[in-house]
Each structure stands twice: as structure tokens, then as C-alpha cells.
Amino acid sequence: MAELYPSLVQCAIVAAAFKVLLFPAYAPQLACYYSFASCEGMVLRGLSLCAPDSNCLAVVDTVAEILRMDPRLPPFFAAFEWLMSQAAAYVDPAMLVVQNLGYDSWQTVYFQRATVIVTELVLVFALSRYVKSAPSWDKQAAHVASLSILLSPGLFIIDHIHFQYNGFLYGILILSIVLARKQSTLLYSGILFAILLCLKHIYLYLALAYFVYLGRFYCLDPKNVFRPRFFNIVKLGVCVLGVFGIAFGPFVQWGQLLQLKDRLFPFSRGLCHAYWAPNIWAMYSFTDRALIPLAPRLGLSVNQDALNSVTRGLVGDTSFAVLPEISSQQTFLLTFIFQLIPLVKLWFHSGPNWETFVGAVTLCGYASFLFGWHVHEKAILLIIIPFSLIALKDRRYFSAFRPLAVAGHVSLFPLLFTAAEFPLKTVYTVFWLILFLFVFDRVAPVPERPRIFVFDRLALLYPHIRHSVDSVLLAGSPTDLRIRTTTVLAPDVHEQLFRTWCCRELGWIYGGLFYRIDRFLDRKGSFRLAYN
């Protein structure tokens, strides 16, 4: 097979050049004093000051107090930041002084942004492993998919403008998924995922899929459910517990475990994040808001307390005026039910199937995103990135991926609200969508059996609807931007409409995707039967 061109490394170099040009782009780091915009950069730096210190949380407390937000990252990430801070000491020692929280010399900004680019090498490595692991007939599709992840506008917006270390984290996730491809490396996949959980606990969204997959095909005999493999169980158990022990042991020692738990799982915060993630709860909140003026006519009682603070997830509880309150237990139950469907499929699959596993990972992320408690909009990458790995399986996967890619990436737009970044994010995203959806369209093979399901009909209709919706949205965005920059705390109808729109999209994509995978597996099963 001819060498794939352009190679991952070439693309990474060109992309890195572009990202370096973005160094001075507006990162909410600088505005965190003035707005409640999430400002990871500051928090990360706050953590890097103190990581291995026993009174770490105390320092973080002060930081959080200043910033009015909680750092919510597990211990390994703190250790990672501590490593960064060791390098930072050579660049500009002043950035490590705790008192200098608002410090933003250009050295600091450049250093922090450079670390994002450098740590993204993990992603490049993981993607190259992914391409290598793909069977030869699938190499080209794998290459295209890995390029799409490397150049993803999601990572571009969140990491390189907004500022986070997602490239690095998703690199580990992909590496772990790739390692799950072979039976012999399943253990390493599990260990890597445990480490990933200790780096950022948002990956708990995907944990059940790992749990089921490893449990079924590593701890039990793949051919016979009733034959456990004890040695494997011990190996996996020791390794995973060891990882968690290293991560959380010191906190147990210091007696800070509960404090840490509160910090990592902020249930005191509302159902919705301050910026609504486009999920079910955004629709729910929106319905609630819409019902307020109608309530007297419909004879519904309105909770007066909620009127002043409707769905402002920032401060304390979300409260609804008309509709019943949602508790965290309810959201968990819903999430669990919807995660269960693909997991059952995964469990009863005869023999380990990597694609089913990736599908289950995607769907677990999907369910958590749609029904979870206090979901952040950035979590959409948890769906898009694993899904990219199997989106080119055949055209039906791709047709589910297409609207997801559009709606998911566009839903990230409100993260960046300054004028200068507006053209950057839109142009880049539109460019990426055109390029990759076009290429995907050419690369994705025709499914073995053509089938038009009701959702396919919707997907066929989708581009036409989207044009009209997009034009409305684009007309709305500048106003949206202006409102957000001037009155940050004011409720904004534009945005909520927008969120609701994204949610509706994502909702039925979930249904469509699940149905597809379900049917696909059925078909495989029936083939196998016919074969035997």
C-alpha cells in the first residue's frame, strides 16, 4: 500500500504552526476576574503551585475563592501540573508565586500555550498507533479519521483558544482504546484508562463500557460466561487498584478524601452548567422558561423563588418554576438506563469485537452527556472523538456522524465570545466540516446491505433543514455575542434557543446511532448463524 499522504506528522507540524500563531488569542484566563467564564488556565496554574503539598487543598481553596469557582481535577492532573511548573520555573519564576494569580506576562501565556502544543504529541502518537493497528484494507479510512481528530475544531477551540489540556487527555484515551483492540494488550488498556480517570474524572462517563468489556472479555472467558479467568482478574484488580491507590492514597493519609470528593463531584451545583450544555436538561429548562408566561392560563402553579434564578447553574441549585425539580438521583437513573442498552449488547456479543466496544464507549458518553447532572458543553468531545474512530465503518455510521459533527462542534461556539475569535472559530470549523465531511463521504464504504430506516430519512432531510436553521442562527450570533459580552449574567434567550436546538439534534442522533449499531450487530449475528 502506498504511503498515506499527508502524513500525521506533517499535518501535526503545520497545525502546530497555526496554533503557535494563536498564542495571543483571547483566553478566558485573563478575564476570569471579571466574568464567571470558566477559566481553566488560572485554576490549572493554581494547582501547579501546590500539587505535592499537603495543604494543597487549602491553597486551592483560596484560589477558588478568588476565582469563585472550584478546581475539579483529580490528583494525577495536579501531578502533571506540578511537572509543568518545574519547567515553568526556568521560563518565568514569577508565574509560580501564589499571590500572582492574575499574572499574565507574555512568558506565562506563551509557556502555557506551548505546553498544550507539546503535550498534544501524546495524541499524535496515539493516532499513529491507531492507524498502525488498523487492518490494511482499513488503513486509509483510519488515516482520514485520525487526521480529522488531530485537526478537530473541538480541540482547536477548547485547547488552543479557550485553553485546556484535552489533546493530551484524549491522546491517552485513544491509546487505551487502541490497546483494547488486541486481546494481549487488554490489561494495558485498562491500566491506561485508570490513569486517565485519575487525570480527569469526566472520563467516568465512559467507564461502564470499559468495565463491561474488560469484565466480559478479559476477566471471563470470551467463549463461556461461566468460566472466570482468575489470574486475569487478579492482574487487572491489582493494577487498577494500584493506580487509584497511588492517586488517592495520600489524600486518605491526610484525611482529605471527603473534601476531595466534594470538589470532584460538585453536586451542590445545579443541574445545568452556567452555559447550558445542549442536552435534555437544556430542553427541560427551556420548556420551563417557556411555560412561565403560560402558567396562569394553564392553571399551573409557579414557584416564585425560581423566577429570579431560573437555571442559573452557577450559584447553587437550579430551580424550576413550573416543571418538577430534578434530583441528581433521577439523572443518574436515566443515564444508567440509557447506558445499559449498549452495554447489554456488548456483554452478550459473541467474542470480543472492538467496533462494538468503541460504539459502546461512544454511546455511554452520549447517554451521560444527554442525561447527566451538571454536564459541561465541552463533554461533547467525549462523544465525537471515540465516534470518529468508527465513523468510517460504513455509510450508515457516517450518516449518524455527520449531523453529530456539525451540531457538536457548533455547540462549542459560545465558549468563545470575543469579536476577534469569532471569525477564527467559525471559519475554521466550517472549513473542517467541509473538508472532512467531504473526504469521509468519499472514503466511507457502502454498507453491505442497504436499508432506509425512518432516521435515515431524517438524516437525508437534515441538510435541507439545517440550511434554514443555520441562516437563522448565523443571523442571531452577533447579537448573542454582544449580549454575552456586555451583560454576562443576564439570561439570554438566543443562547437558550441555540442550546435547545443542539439538544434536539443530539437527542435523535443518539436514537439513530443506537438503532444502527443494534441492527448492525443483529445482522452480523444472523450472518454468523447462516455461516454455521
Partner 1 sequence: MAPSTPSSHRPRKKRKVPTAPGSNNNLILDIGDGKQTPAFPSSRSYGLRVRVPPMHGDFEAQRHWMEITTHLPMARWYLYDLQYWGLDYPPLTAYHSWLLGKIGSIVEPAWFALDKSRGFEDPHLKVFMRATVIASEYLIYIPAIVNFLRRYTRMQGVHAWSASIALVAILLQPATILIDHGHFQYNTVMLGLMVASLDAILAGRMLWACLFFVGALGFKQMALYYAPVMFAYLLGVCIFPRIRILRLINIAIITLAAFTLLFAPLLVAATNPEARALFATSPQPPLLQALPISLDKNTAAYAILFQLTQTIHRVLPFSRGIFEDKVANAWCAIHTFYKLHHFDVSLLQRASLGATLASIAIPCGIIFRHPRASLILPALSCVSWGFFLFSFQVHEKSVLLPLLPMTLSLAGDGGLNKENRAWVGWANVLGSWTMYPLLKREELRVPYIVMTLLWAYLMGLPPVCLETYRSRATLEDPNPQFELHLLTKLIHFAFYLAMVGWHVLEAFVPTPAGKPDIWVVLNALIGAGGFGLAYLWCMWKLITQCRQIDLQVAEEESRKKKQ
Residues in contact with partner 1 by the rule CB under 8 A: 13-14, 17, 20-26, 30, 418-424
Where on the phi/psi map is residue 285: left (φ > 0), alpha (ψ -120 to 50), or beta?
alpha
63: its cell numbers: 484560589
Q: What does the alpha-carbon distance between residue 53 and residue 55 come to, in Å, rounded to a whole number? A: 5
Closest distance between partner 1 and the C-beta of residue 418, in Å?
7
Residue number, 41 or 408, with CB nearest to partner 1: 41
CB of 166 to partner 1, least distance (A): 21
- In whole angstroms, the minimum distance from the beta carbon of 17 to partner 1 comes to 4
User: What is the Cα Rg of the chain in Å?
Assistant: 23
Nearer to partner 1 (CB atom), residue 31 or residue 264: 31
In this complex, which beta carbon is closest to partner 1, that of residue 133 or of residue 426? 426
CB of 21 to partner 1, least distance (A): 6
Name the minimum Å distance from CB 27 to partner 1: 10
Of the pair 144, 424, the CB lying nearest partner 1 is at 424
- What residues have CB less than 8 Å from 53, skipping those under 6 apart? 59
Q: Which is nearer to partner 1, 23 or 508 (CB)?
A: 23
| Axis-axis angle for helices 230-254, 257-264 (nearest 10) | 100
Most distant CA pair in the chain, distance: 71
Give min distance, CB of 416 to partner 1, in A. 11
Contacts by 255-263 with C-beta closer than 8 Å and gap 24+?
Answer: 256/57, 259/57, 260/57, 260/75, 263/57, 263/60, 263/70, 263/71, 263/72
Closer of 116 and 214 to partner 1 (Cβ)? 116
Looking at beta carbons only, is 423 or 450 nearer to partner 1?
423
* Residue 26 or 440 having the CB closest to partner 1: 26
CB nearer to partner 1: give 24 or 463.
24
Work out how close the CB of 161 gets to partner 1 at its nearest, in angstroms, rounded to a whole number. Answer: 9
Evaluate the CA torsion angle 110, 111, 116, 119 in order and state its sign. Answer: positive
Do the beta carbons of residue 396 and residue 516 sit within 8 Å?
yes
Instruction: Tell me if 325 sits within 8 A of 319, measured CB to CB.
Output: yes
Q: Closest CB to partner 1 among 23 and 265?
A: 23
The CA distance from 193 to 499, in Å, is 31
The distance of closest approach from Cβ of residue 49 to partner 1 in the complex, given in angstroms and rounded to an integer, is: 23
Element (H, E) at 477: helix 454-486
Q: What is the DSSP string of 117-180?
A: HHHTHHHHHHHHHHHHHS-GGGHHHHHHHHHHHHT-HHHIIIIIIII--HHHHHHHHHHHHHHT
Question: Considering beta carbons, is residue 24 or 93 the nearer one to partner 1?
Answer: 24
Q: CA distances (Å), 463 to each of 412, 457, 458, in order?
A: 20, 11, 9
Q: How far is the CB of 419 from partner 1 (least distance, A)?
A: 4
- Contact (Cβ atoms closer than 8 angstroms) between residue 404 and residue 387: yes
Q: Min. distance of Cβ 473 from partner 1 in angstroms? A: 19
Torsion angle of alpha carbons 122, 125, 126, 131, nearest 10°? 160
Question: Least distance in Å: CB of 44 to partner 1?
Answer: 19
110 closest CA partner among 84, 85, 91, 87: 91
What share of residues in the chain are helix, strand, coil (percent, to 5)? 75, 0, 25
